[in-house]
Amino acid sequence: MDRVSQPEPWIAGSSITVRRKNGQNMLTLQGATEEIPVRIVQPLPLSQSGLGVSFLDKEKREVAAVRSVSDLDAESAACVREALDRRYFEARVTRVLKTETHFGTRYLTVDTDKGRSTFALRHPGRNIIHLGNDGLILRDTNGNVYRIEKVSALDALSQLQVDKAV
Amino acid sequence: MKLNDPLSAPLSQDVASRLQPGETIRFCKKSDLSLDRKFGEATLAVTDTRVLVLDTTHVVVEVPFTELDEVAVEELFSSSRLEAKKKDGSRVELIYYSKVLVPEFGVFCRAINQLVRKEPPLLPDEDEATHCARCGSPLPERGSNCPLCVPRWTIFRRLFQYVKPFKVRIGILLVTLFISVGVQMVPPYITKRIVDDVIKGGNQDSLLMWIGLMFGCFTIYLVTRLFNAMMSSWLAAHLVANLRAELHTVLQRLQLGYFNKRGSGELVGRVMHDTAELQQFLIEGLPYLMVNTSSFFFVAVILLRMDWRLAVLVFLPVPFLIFGAEIFWKRLHPLFHKQGFRIESLYSILGETINGIRVVKAFAQEKTRSSQFNRRNDELRKIRFQIDVTFISFQEVMFWVMQLGIMCVWFFAAQRLSRHDPSITLGTLLAFVGYIWLLYGPLQWFTVVMNWMTHAFAGGERVFAVLDTPPEAYDSATAIAIPEVKGAVSFKDVRFSYERGKEIIKGISFDIAPGEMIGLVGKSGAGKSTIINLVCRFFEADSGLISVDGHDIKQIRLADLRNGLGMVLQETFLFNGTVLDNLKCGKPDATFEEVVRATKAANAHDFILDKEDGYDTRIGEHGAQLSGGEKQRLAIARAILHDPAILILDEATSSVDSETEKHIQEAIANLVRNRTTIAIAHRLATLRNAHRLVVLDDGKIAEMGTHDELMAKEGAFAKMIDTQTELNKLRGETWTV
């Protein structure tokens, strides 16, 4: 028995449309004529980036949320995917070339889908996040995020380097 | 700040071809992300009249100032971008950059907006490096030393400065160290003489002398080693104690911003762990290195002099021992780091479980917590096992290599002995074997100790990094002395950011007369607490002027400024001492009568007397033995006793019940009388006594005036009052403002 009535987290994808106009993402709720400029964010960008998309107005209030981008109509979905791609800069590691640890600072040189990068990582308790399915999130000393989808899917040398550093 | 990155030749040409006569490039900054958001390069250039975005070869976006409303930073996930907001309402994405360049582009953004508004752009002077100038590696923290380029010997030299006062003891230590090394060399030689002269030569008379000599050597060795151990422990303890004391003193004098960037655990680690590691190395590692380095050379010379052909055989395994140790360390080093990380996370779970035991029990989380702990515990067990196996394997393999050397010596020496080679005797062979152990034994740990030294010195480097951090300007020779602060405070176009590029206070101006009470009102993050931090000079403004009694606070002697200030904060901090100790911390020479007058004014006297030990009650860590309201009233009494001209009240009545709040309000009314007071409160009712209210919004003053003026204005303040009245209705409370 529900003791407290709780609002649903998602609305149907068909109840909103999203379009990009003049460099801004505009959301229109079903039945309304007003277009609301929105910021499009993910509630779980690290652990479940596919789950949920929220639309925030300029007062930073959520005006709508859908469970998945694919719930939206094709044009809205394309617009949202593009916005998310621009907002979430996440380098996916394809190869770990070198790792070194000096005085508690780990240095990693990696190839990613966004190019090669060398970064420093400290406080592993906070900045190395173990995901399920053998995945890893590494957050460097500046806050940039690197994702290893599956450590076991990397080449043997990369796995060795990951094991050394992580 | 460096905002003039050079353009490549093709970019220069392209930009030059677009510039109007007389138009120049004002700023130019390269990003670390390309325009298609990959690791790469793009450039943002600002001329006198427009913003240009450049890829690697040419200009791709151009926004004239005439079309520009403002440029804004859009904080993204793992990156940021600058956006041009145009006057027609449209937006243009200018450039993306990683989190590394947030400060630079934040300053850049402000500078563009100032140029658009035809104001002189404000650029901070300092430019903290993001990468090591020597090796190019990213620095763990802006402007910090590069861990890859730690100057080991510089640290050693600095450490030496700390032992200088003990140079006589160090001299004695060195002499006894060399005596211990010297006497160690004698027994193998005595072995040779006993075998050759006594056993083979039949000279029984000399046996007692040799045995006596051997006994003497062993005794001297024992005495010198004991003396060395005591002396090095004494020296290390003194050095580290001095270092720790200096560190504690320096930490208290650092700017508040230093602590904001670092967890207390990290700083406690530096004071305790890094110094302890240094101490351990100085007690054990350094004498080991000194004794064994000299011993190695002594033995090598002796062996070469005794029989150079056998000596060459002895040296054969030396490279294997050195390289083996190097390989061993490379394997062990990451394992140690992993172990440290796992111990840390195990501690964290344990600490959470103990501190949050009520929540654990209330939500029946015992099994979940246990399984989390067991998982981490298991990971630690695996790492510990790997470390032990690596250690034991190394030890045994190295022992085997050493035995190979001994085997070679036996093989060739025995051949020569059986051929009755006159250049070797059985005594020489046995002495050789004795010396081999003196040579090989320490050698296997040499690399390990060297690496240990690197670690200990890294701790030293971290300690020195704190000691070298510029403190607050306590002792500026040019500072103005104001023995008695009157309480006039003025802000003139003050701008401030905790992190470069993220401005929190955006050009604020207001004046407070002596004795006036000002209420700072606004949403969380509006900048209320930051204004207080600036008044107290915990941070220094980026630009503008903050003055007290007509003097720029940067020019006032810091001790005078702080003596003129008193604080009652939301989170009352009390030291682990008695009630009386805590009350007197603002005025150590206060008499008991003065203390009682203050506690009575703060409505604290009665509850203190109600405690079994009265004013001698120990209040525990963070005042654990007191309720929230009691702590607040102690803090108010402390401030009354301190008697400051300027009083800061930061949410002093939050989280207390109505009855307690009444007591606190009465105490505050006593406290603020005839004092300049800057008060912050979310519950606007607590500001009903303020002469004026300053309403802040996003780092700017939205409204300022008396309560009545602001209510009549029906602006932001009136809206906040309405919201709070609604909220209080929901809570069933009634507030009058």
Taking CB atoms and an 8 Å limit, are B148 and A117 in contact across chains? no
Closest chain B residue to the Cα of A90, Cα to Cα: B78
Any CB–CB contact under 8 A between B458 and chain A?
yes
Judged by a CB distance cut-off of 8 A, whether residue A82 touches chain B is: no
The model's confidence at residue B444, banded by pLDDT at 50, 70 and 90, is low
**CA distances, A165 to each of A96, A106, B359 (Å):** 10, 7, 34
Confidence of residue B373 (pLDDT cuts 50, 70, 90): very high
A19 shares contact with chain B (CB less than 8 Å): no
Q: CA B225, B444, B317 angle in degrees (round to 5)?
A: 125
Report the alpha-carbon distance of residue B161 to residue B163 in Å, rounded: 6
Highest mean pLDDT, choosing among A85-99, B225-239, B524-538, B562-576: A85-99
Residues 320-349 of B with CB under 8 A from A: 333-334, 337, 341, 344-345, 348
| Mean pLDDT score across all residues of chain A | 90
What would you report as the CA-atom Rg of chain A, rounded to the nearest whole angstrom? 20
Edge-to-edge strand list for the sheet holding A91-102? A115-121, A105-112, A91-102, A145-148, A136-139, A128-130
pLDDT tens for each residue of A27-45? 999 989 899 999 999 999 9
B100 in contact with A, Cβ within 8 Å: yes
Dist CA B588 CA B600 (whole Å): 18
Please judge whether B77 and A90 are an interchain contact, meaning their C-beta atoms are less than 8 angstroms apart: yes
Q: Which residue of A has its CA nearest to B88?
A: A22
Q: How far apart are CA B587 and CA B598, in angstroms?
A: 12
Phi, psi angles (nearest 5°) of residue A6: -115, 130
Find the CB nearest B40 among A104, A115, A140. Answer: A115
Which residue of A19, A36, A102 is the best one to mutate when testing the B interface, meaning the one whose CB has the most B CBs within 10 A?
A: A102
| Contacting residues of A for B138, CB less than 8 Å apart | 107, 118-120, 140-142
d(CA B593, CA A32): 72
Asked if A107 lies within 8 A of B141 by C-beta distance, the reply is no
CB B404 within 8 A of CB B313: no
User: Contacts of residue A88 in chain B, CB cutoff 8 Å?
Assistant: 76-78
pLDDT tier for residue B580 given thresholds of 50, 70 and 90: very high
Chain A positions touching B332 (Cβ under 8 A) are: none
Domain edges within chain A: 13-87, 91-165
Which H or E run includes B440? helix B426-467
Closest CB to B93: pick one of A23, A89, A91: A23
Q: Answer for the pair B634, B604: CB distance below 8 angstroms, yes or no.
A: yes
Q: How confident is the model at residue B630, as a pLDDT?
A: 87
With CB atoms and an 8 Å threshold, state whether A115 touches B39: yes
Write the CATH number of the domain with boundaries A91-165.
Answer: 2.60.40
Amino acid at B9: A
Per-residue pLDDT at B728 exceeds 80: no
| pLDDT 10s digits, B406-429 | 888 899 999 999 998 888 899 988
Looking at beta carbons, which residues of chain A come within 8 Å of B147? 102-105
Residue A149 confidence (pLDDT):
93
Please indicate whether, in this complex, the C-beta atoms of A89 and B79 are within 8 angstroms of each other. yes
Nearest to B138 among A88, A119, A145 (CB): A119
- How many percent of chain A have pLDDT more than 90? 69
Residues B348, A125: C-beta atoms closer than 8 Å: yes
With vertex at residue A61, the alpha carbon angle to CA A55 and CA A64, rounded to the nearest 5 degrees, is: 35
Interhelix angle B286-306/B207-253, nearest 10 degrees: 150
Tell me the nearest-neighbour CA distance from A106 into chain B, angstroms.
9
CA angle B170–B171–B174, rounded 5-degree value: 85
Is A97's Cβ below 8 Å from some Cβ in B? no
Token reading at B530: 């930051």
Q: How far is B293 from chain A (nearest CA, A)?
A: 26
A49 interfacial to chain B (CB closer than 8 Å)? no
Place of tokens 């593009």: A82
Question: What 8-state DSSP symbol labels residue B584?
Answer: G
| CA-based max dimension of chain B | 120
Alpha carbon of residue B644 to chain centroid: 32
Give tens-digit pLDDT for A102-118. 777 889 999 999 999 99
Distance from CA of B724 to the nearest CA of A (A): 19
Predicted confidence at residue B42, as pLDDT, reads 94
Structure token pair of residue B35: 């325009």
Residue A39 Cα, gap to closest chain B Cα (Å): 10
Question: What local confidence, expressed as pLDDT, does residue A63 receive?
Answer: 94
Residues 6+ apart with CB under 8 A from B31: B41, B42, B43, B44, B95, B96, B97, B101, B105
Instruction: Output the pLDDT for position B592.
Output: 92
Chain A CB contacts of B99 below 8 Å: 140, 142-144
Residues from chain A contacting residue B88 (CB–CB below 8 Å): 22
Mean pLDDT of B112-136: 82
Record: contact A86-B93, CB cut-off 8 A: yes
With contact defined as beta carbons under 8 Å apart, do B360 and B369 qualify? Answer: yes
The amino acid sitting at B107 is: V
**DSSP character for B316?**
T
The shortest CB-CB distance from A118 to any of B98, B137, B344 is to B137
For range B427-452, the mean pLDDT: 79
User: Do residue B88 and residue A22 have CB atoms under 8 angstroms apart?
Assistant: yes
Q: Which residues of A touch B348 (CB under 8 A)?
A: 125
* Mean of pLDDT over chain B: 84
What's the rounded Cα separation, in Å, for the pair B86 and A55? 23
Residue B337 pLDDT: 76
Contacts of B462 in chain A (CB under 8 A): 103
**Closest residue of chain A to B32, computed from CA coordinates:** A117
pLDDT at residue B613 greater than cutoff 80: yes
Alpha helices in A36-116 (DSSP H): 74-87
Helix, coil or strand: residue A134: coil
ipTM for this model: 0.92
The alpha carbon of residue A23 is apart from the nearest alpha carbon of chain B, in Å, by 5
Task: Tell me which chain A residues have a C-beta less than 8 angstroms from the C-beta of B349.
Answer: none
pLDDT digits over A37-86, tens only? 999 999 999 888 889 999 999 888 999 999 999 999 999 999 999 999 99
Which residue is closest to A164 within chain B, CA to CA? B334
Q: Say what angle helices B167-193 and B286-306 make with each other, to 10 degrees.
A: 30
Confidence of residue B394 (pLDDT cuts 50, 70, 90): confident
pLDDT-derived band at A24, boundaries 50, 70, 90? very high
Residues 133-162, chain B, touching A (beta carbon < 8 A): 137-141, 147-148, 150
* Residues contacting residue B693 through CB under 8 Å, at least 6 positions apart: B518, B519, B520, B521, B687, B703, B704, B705, B706, B707, B710, B717
Kindly identify which residue of chain B lies nearest to residue A88, measuring between CA atoms.
Answer: B77
Instruction: Give A143's contacts in chain B (Cβ within 8 Å).
Output: 78, 99
By mean pLDDT, which of A144-148, B424-428, B442-446, B612-616 is the weakest? B442-446
A114 in contact with chain B, both atoms CB, cutoff 8 A: yes
Position B736 scores a pLDDT of: 44
**Which residues are bridge partners to B508 per DSSP?**
B494
How is chain B split among helix, strand and coil, in percent rounded to 5? 60, 15, 25
**Taking CB atoms and an 8 Å cutoff, what residues of chain A touch B137?**
107, 118, 120
Chain B: closest CA distance from residue A111 (Å): 10
Residues of A in contact with B341 (CB under 8 A): 124-125
pTM tops 0.80: no
Are the C-beta atoms of B287 and B235 separated by less than 8 Å? no
Residues of chain B with pLDDT > 70: what percent? 92
- For residue range B283-329, list pLDDT tens digits in order: 777 777 888 888 888 888 998 998 898 888 888 888 888 888 778 87
Q: HSE-up of B421 (CA within 13 Å, CB side)?
A: 15
CB-CB under 8 Å, A87 with B138: no
Alpha-carbon distance values, B441 to B239, B333, B387, B452, B733 (Å): 30, 22, 21, 17, 80
B-chain residue closest to A121, CA distance: B140
Contact B409, B155 (CB under 8 A): no
B455–A142 C-beta distance less than 8 A: no
The candidate with the shortest Cα–Cα distance to B309, out of B177, B382, B408, is B408
